[in-house]
Structure 1
Amino acid sequence: MHEDIVAVQLLEKDNWVAPSSVVLQDDGESEDIEVVEEKEKMLKNVEKRTAKPSGRVVGIIKRNWRPYCGMLSKSQIKESTRHLFTPADRSIPRIRIETRQASVLEGQRIIVAIDGWPRNSRYPNGHFVKNLGAAGDKETETEVLLLEHDVPHQPFSQAVLSFLPKMPWSITPEDMKHRVDLRHLYVCSVDPPGCTDIDDALHCRELENGNLEVGVHIADVSHFIRPGNALDQESSNRGTTVYLCDKRIDMVPDLLSSNLCSLRSQVDRLAFSCIWEISHDAKIIHTTYTKSVINSKASLTYAEAQMRIDSPDMNDEITKSLRLLNKLAKILKKQRIDNGALTLSSPEVRFHMDSETHDPIDLQTKELKETNSMVEEFMLLANISVAQKIYEEFSEYALLRKHPAPPPGNYDILVKAASSKNLEIKTDCAKALADSLDTAESEEFPYLNTLLRILATRCMMQAVYFCSGMDSDFHHYGLASPIYTHFTSPIRRYADVIVHRLLAAAIGADCTYPDLTDKQKIAEICKNINFRHKMAQYSQRASVAFHTQLFFKNKGIVNEEGYILFVRKKCACGIDPKVWFRRHGLL
């Protein structure tokens, strides 16, 4: 099975084979066992071209079986109890099951577990476990994508909830130990519309010496989640908050994510602050890290913040702060890009839901404003500053984030696409790539640069968390930074909670504990949160794909302009795409 750990015996060279040119598509249509066995014989007709090292599986070291979601392919033989189950995950083979409920289960999303896999059978044997609901139903399909991507989404247990603070909650004198009171500052948050889990806020003011003071204030989640208890263990297991089109799967209970840890306006909140003294040309003079208490003066959307910056009639303290922040952010961004940081593109869409049915009624590409970039620059600066600090104090145990440089071959698709338009993309280093993307433009095809940046994103490696004592390459390729971590979103990322604990111990605001200075433990945490982060990304994409399907389901003929990014060697149906395009008069 996919991701089983197996032992493979290398065959003698005379027995090496090449990949078959025959496409045997397992398309999920209802088939009888006899038909399947006839197809299995076709597999033996493998064309021997340029042979490659070949082997055979001689043992299963570790199974990776789990319950699978999918649909029943009912046998066409009347009264038959033997049927095939087609998993939603196309990397998993179909499963033979026996059930007398086939008529009831047809057209339903069901869960099947595997019992075993006979040596001489193409398919494993299994049994029916649970009916999830009708295929195509929104709740059912959401449940399937969460299960298939292994996203923990069960309600928080009573054991977990028992470690939440008792309400009503207020800041006590004990909470103020090792904290500074910053409630007098004109702090504000800038987030997407409807955001309730606000974990970062900003301020900027002029100092008497002519320099500027800039503060990034992050929700102090680690104050409420103490090491080792059930709440901590559940947050660690979940690893990240998952944002689907129509719902959010929180990493921490709602009392924390949308209330006590959310830096909402006009309420006192505990924070962890990174404060710089900075010159008007964005040179950092001094950095301070401190636990704090803040009172945000405004919770703004990106559009509202942009309106304040642009409005000549607004000159209140919050607006002045935003203008200074925006000015500095532009300088910081230019410095990053000059150092070789990449500006890539990943098209994101926002769905507008019907208030009653919750079905998508409109979709649009997310519009990015200057204020999006403003917030991003200071979050990046805070993450880099904190990474340097925790590595100085805990060189063996710092939880960091790196982005490996892609192998040269990864860029082939990008270089080929650009050369088709007589453009050259240089990939020697991040700086060369960034510069050549900046100049890769076409007057007759203005969208070309965006397409190339989308393709460049596809060429990148996955950024990963790691323990500093177990790696020597810290470089973040995309940001062109020698060191990086995540500090700014502890409500929605467990990595940030660990980084907060390391930083608190580094400045003497909290004590350390054994697992925090154990390389193996930190490495285990990194492995889990890397997996959870990847699965969250996949489930979010699956949610967008499903809602896009729902949106177009009842539309008539819609004419829109589209762009082909690349053409694969084989379609899902096994047909050469060029043949398909010619057949439909598109080539």
Structure 2
Amino acid sequence: MLQQSTLRETNRHLFVPAERRIPKIRIETRQAETLFGKRIVVVIDSWPKSSKYPQGHFVRALGDIGDKETENEVLLLEHDIPHTAFSQRVLNCLPTADWTASEEEISKRKDLRDVTICSVDPPGCTDIDDALHCRVLPNGNFEVGVHIADVTHFVRPGTALDLEAANRGTTVYLTDRRIDMVPELLSSNLCSLRSNVERLAFTCIWEITPETETVNVQFTKSIIKSKASLTYAEAQSIIDDASRTDDVAASLRHLNNLAKKLKAKRIEKGALTLASPEIRFEVDSETHDPIQVQEKQLRDTNSMVEEFMLLANVSVAKKIYDEFSQCAVLRRHPSPPYSNFDPMLAVCKAYGIEMDVTSNKTLATSLENAVVSGNDYFNTMLRILTTRCMMQAKYFTSGMMPENDFYHYGLAMNIYTHFTSPIRRYADVLVHRLLAVSIGADASYPDLLDKNKTQAICNNLNHRHVMAQYASRASVGLHTQLFFRARNLLEQGYILTVRKNALQVLIPKYGLEGTLYLDSGNIKSTYDEEACTQTVSGHTFHIFDPVTVKVSLDSTNIQHQKLKIDLVEPQVEGLSIREDNSAENTSDKKSPRKKLKTKK
């Protein structure tokens, strides 16, 4: 933003970057009066030795500070998210809106239109990548199919559409919108595996025993016609409804039972079950402002879909690596160095809990046994803390590193890739092309088999993937701020970390963290690093202790508005505020105390 100058009628002004690590920038502009209070973009041109500040120039104004559309644009720019409209060159690569598969194309594919296939996704999902089926074979085994949108039929190598998708790398999911990797005609229509319409797919079909041993697997291009597009809640309801005996219900129940056994096997091998607070906003249909927030509910059906997507990804990874040992696109998750676990181990030591982090298997076992009597949320908090000890998973080309480094630590798998979401991840597009060549369903091309060029693409995908995650979190943070503009709410929180001058509090309902600072002159505190405690006015705060806080929006700094938390319970002299002084929930006229008790 532009800083108000103390000099009248001057064209020289200071620009204050949103990123605090960047210094102020001196610019010259005659538009200052119209730019105050707006988010603007400035470029640094030089930094003369004689100047305290770098010199730059004004590029463009984005809009008013605090305006949702402006702040959305800011977070997309800050996280290097390509978000301009698709160019005409890209759109020229698309088929017509009324496209249907030709009889010649159908004749090349396995016809699965009569199979009871269904998809299970989050509410409101329109880019449906995957669908499933399961049926009992005459020998008592199960035929399980994972059907993935055949995006590569439409996105051909070297086209403007392909180059744009490769650059974008991934679809970015914000709270109130989606930045597509491919145009909407493909993402939400022709590629999306919606119910009761014929769609091209890439299919993995296994024969699996009742104890989840794989007898065989085949890969084939197919044509399908999904019988149902379900949400996780709808699928769970069908599974639980004993009166449902139709083919969809039978398929879902078999899939669910097999998934539970597959998950048990993975965990036995050392796969980690970690945690991170995830929330979902309910937005006003007209203003698109958040009006309600709730934690995402995880059901058996979430895990059911996940298990078969993992099975497909592993099966495809083995296939493309066997066929293309030097240029297979894979995904690895490095083991964290021991020092990464120091914060988590300090917490466990304070609670007298033994943790073995020598391997993912020992870590998974330790996490399972880490329980504290009287603190039901302790294990979840510990898993959240453990998640933060992990390394970042990355795409790579198989010929660029030794096979010993292929290991995926979090999933406890020796080889892994991404195959199941080609609508929203370009890595999956590359994997589809490799798999298609390996089964003779498509032709190869030079760049696909060039490990150096493929690795360069993987490097971009890793960058885009991380930035998309950060942008998504920033969007949640922005909408949380918007939610609290007219609200002061009492909420349950947990002390996530204890520092020398502060307590970091996690509020699971909103997936947010706030800081209670202890460096005020009238607060006397004693920090015990070994025990992970802070003692304030005779009260000792332990890590993971439950607390009640008031959450509000601090707008004193227009450039950096932030959520503020105040301690309500326990009542600690000099630190806590009185509950009867806190504002009411503007959408609920019950007393805050009564609302809090009801929630507990």
TM-score w.r.t. length of structure 2: 0.84
What is the CA–CA distance in structure 1 between the aligned matches of 2:502 and 2:6, rounded to whole Å? 28
Give the Cα separation in 2 of the matches to 1:463 and 1:89: 26
Post-superposition CA distance 1:56-107 (Å, at most 9, x none) = xxxxxxxxxxxxxxx1122223333332212222332221212232222111
Tell me, yes or no, if structure 1 residue 475 matches structure 2 residue 407.
Answer: yes
Give the distance between the partners of 2:269 and 2:463, measured in 1 at CA. 30
Q: Is the 8 A contact 2:97 2:185 kept in 1?
A: no
Shift of 1:122: 4.4
| Equivalent of 2:416 in 445, 460, 484 | 484
Deviations 1:148-175 (A, max 9, x none): 1111111111100101112321111231
Instruction: Compare 409-418 and 383-392 and name the one that shifted more.
Output: 409-418
Residue 459 of structure 2 is aligned to residue 527 of structure 1: yes
**Cα deviations across residues 327-381 of structure 1 (Å, max 9, x unaligned)?**
0000000000000000000111100001111100000000000000000000001
Contact 1:118 1:124 in 2 (8 A): yes
1:53-452 equivalences in 2 (<5 Å): 71-452=1-382
Aligned mates of 1:420, 1:361 — CA distance in 2 = 40
Q: Which residue of 2 aligns with 1:585?
A: 574
Question: What residue identity is the alignment partner of 1:482?
Answer: N
Matched residue SS, 1:113: strand
What is the Cα-based RMSD across aligned positions, in Å? 1.7
2:492 aligns to what?
561
Which amino acid in 2 is paired with 1:133? G
Q: Deviations over 1:422-462 (max 9, x none)?
A: 22222111011111111111121111111111111111100
Deviations along 1:461-488, one digit per CA (max 9) or x if unpaired, are 0000000000111000000000000000
Residues 568 and 508 of structure 1: CA distance in aligned 2, closer, same or farther (over 3 Å)? farther
Partners of 2:319 and 2:517 lie apart in 1 by 52
| Paired residues of 2:111 and 2:223 also in contact (CA < 8 A) | yes
Q: Counterparts of 2:52 and 2:357 in 1: how far apart (Å)?
A: 44
SS in structure 1 of the partner of residue 215 of structure 2: strand
Matched to 1:585, the amino acid is G
What is the aligned residue count?
A: 514
Residue 548 of structure 1: aligned partner:
480
The change in CA–CA distance for 1:81 and 1:433 in structure 2 (over 3 A counts) is same
Q: 2:502, 2:519 within 8 Å by CA — same for their partners in 1?
A: no
Residue 8 (structure 1) aligns with = none
The one-letter amino acid of 1:265's match is S
Match of 1:564, SS state, is strand
Displacement of 1:564: 2.3
Decide which moves more: 170-179 or 439-448. 170-179
Residue aligning to 1:25: none
Which residue number in structure 1 is paired with residue 550 of structure 2? none
In the aligned structure 1, how far is the partner of 2:50 from the partner of 2:494?
46
Q: Which residue type is aligned with residue 574 of structure 2?
A: G
The answer (yes or no) to whether the contact 2:118–2:229 under 8 Å persists in 1 is yes
Q: Give the stretch that moved more between structures: 169-178 or 433-442.
A: 169-178
Structure 2 runs not aligned, ≥5 long: 504-514, 525-572, 577-600
Q: 2: CA distance between counterparts of 1:497 and 1:342?
A: 27
Please give the alpha-carbon distance, in whole angstroms, between the structure 1 residues aligned to 2:317 and 2:20.
40
Letter in 1 for 2:211: D
Q: Runs of 5+ in structure 1 lacking a partner? A: 1-70
Distance 2:164 2:502 in 1: 41
SS state of the match for residue 288, structure 1? strand
- Partner Cα distance (1:471, 1:568) in 2: 40
SS at match of 1:290: strand
Distance 1:104 1:477 in 2: 53
SS of the aligned residue for 1:358 comes to: coil
Q: How far, CA to CA, are the matches of 1:159 and 1:290 in structure 2?
A: 31
Cα–Cα, structure 1 residues 456 and 259, in superposed 2: closer, same or farther, change >3 Å? same
Check conservation: 1:220, 1:272, Cα contact below 8 A. yes
> Measured at CA, do residues 570 and 184 of structure 1 come closer, stay the same or move farther in structure 2, by a change above 3 Å?
same
Q: Deviations over 1:476-525 (max 9, x none)?
A: 00000000000000000000000000000000000110000001110011
CA contact (8 A) 1:569 1:576 kept: no
Q: Does residue 527 of structure 2 align to residue 538 of structure 1?
A: no
Q: 1:503 & 1:569 partners in 2: Cα distance?
A: 54
Distance apart, 1:570 and its partner CA: 7.2
Letter in 1 for 2:31: Q
Q: Which amino acid letter does the alignment assign opposite residue 579 of structure 1?
A: D
Cα offsets for 1:166-194 (capped at 9, x unmatched): 23211112312541101111000000011
Q: Distance in 2 between matches of 1:99 and 1:262?
A: 49
**What secondary structure, in the 3-state scheme, does the structure 1 residue paired with 2:104 have?**
coil
- Decide whether the 8 Å contact of 1:465 with 1:526 is kept in 2: yes
What is the identity, as a one-letter code, of the residue corresponding to 2:67? D
2:200 partner SS: strand
Is residue 567–residue 577 contact of structure 1 (8 Å, CA) maintained in 2? no
The one-letter code matched in structure 1 to 2:463 is F
Asked if 2 retains the 8 angstrom alpha-carbon contact of 1:112 and 1:130, the reply is: yes
- Partners of 1:276 and 1:422 lie apart in 2 by 46
What are the superposed Cα offsets for residues 528-576 of structure 1, whole Å, 9 maximum, x if unpaired? 1101101100100110000000001111x3111111212456789xx99
Q: Which residue number in structure 2 is paired with residue 55 of structure 1?
A: none
Distance apart, 1:582 and its partner CA? 3.1
The answer to whether the 8 A contact 2:41-2:58 is kept is yes
CA contact (8 A) 2:169 2:181 kept: yes
Residues 222-257 of structure 1: per-residue CA shift (max 9 Å, x gap): 000000000000000000000000000000000000
TM-score (norm 1): 0.85
Preserved contact between residue 568 and residue 577 of structure 1 (Cα < 8 Å): no
Equivalent-residue separation in structure 1 for 2:316 and 2:413 (angstroms)? 13
Alpha-carbon contact 1:569-1:577 (below 8 Å) kept: no
Q: Which amino acid aligns with 1:461?
A: M
The answer to whether the Cα contact below 8 Å between 1:273 and 1:290 also exists between their aligned partners in 2 is yes
Using the alignment, how far apart are the partners of 1:167 and 1:336 within structure 2? 43
* 1:40-62, Cα deviation, whole Å (9 max, x unpaired): xxxxxxxxxxxxxxxxxxxxxxx
Local SS of the residue matching 1:563:
strand
Does the aligned pair in 2 maintain the 1:489–1:496 contact within 8 Å? Answer: yes
* 8 A contact 1:186–1:317 mirrored in 2: yes
Q: For 1:568 and 1:92, locate their aligned partners in 2 and report how far apart those are by CA, in whole Å.
A: 26
